[in-house]
Structure 1
């Protein structure tokens, strides 16, 4: 798990309040609360409000979770319902 001094930086790209976007937000909140409390910075970006960011950040599907720190960048596409897959991609021991 990451040390408290080096939080994970996560950005969740969504498109409005679609069922998959809402599920991704809830799943991310649950996973981070259970496994990474106090060790993660989360930003939620609604691409309906800021569509230019999709191209700038190479987002090709939504919802997409991007771990930008620590490098290398990791991307997870989907509603984040597979907790083990999310933890593996974020390099957190489950």
Structure 2
């Protein structure tokens, strides 16, 4: 990777089906990511009911939960992702 290149963020968003809080988290997060990281992120949306093995391996204790896998350090955010400043800090985009 060239030093000038920005990293591609690897993210996992854990949700509980189509609950209103989960849908809000997906929509809020997609808006933030498209605004701040357009074409520089990969997000996997995981339904905790459909993929319990991933939930267990990632030690998910609440939903919706966003896990930033890369670049390090790993960060976890819980909630509907409506607090833009908090999400940006969690992603390391705001000091």
TM-score in terms of structure 2 length: 0.90
- CA-based RMSD of the aligned residues comes to 1.5
1:63-74 mapped onto 2 (5 Å cutoff): 63-74=64-75
Q: How many residues align?
A: 92
* Structure 1 segments (4+ residues) deviating >4 Å: none
Larger radius of gyration: 2
Matched, 1:7 2:8: yes
What's the counterpart of residue 24 of structure 2?
23
> Equivalent residue for 2:47?
46
* Residues 63 and 44 of structure 1, relative CA distance in 2, 3 Å threshold: same
Q: 2-side partners of 1:20 and 1:44: how far apart?
A: 14
Cα distance in 2, alignment partners of residues 17 and 51 from structure 1: 16
C-alpha displacement of 1:5: 4.9
Cα contact 1:4–1:38 (8 A) shared by 2:
no
Question: Which runs of 5 or more structure 2 residues have no equivalent in the other structure?
Answer: none
Query: Structure 1 length normalisation: TM-score?
Result: 0.91
Unaligned runs of 5+ in 1: none
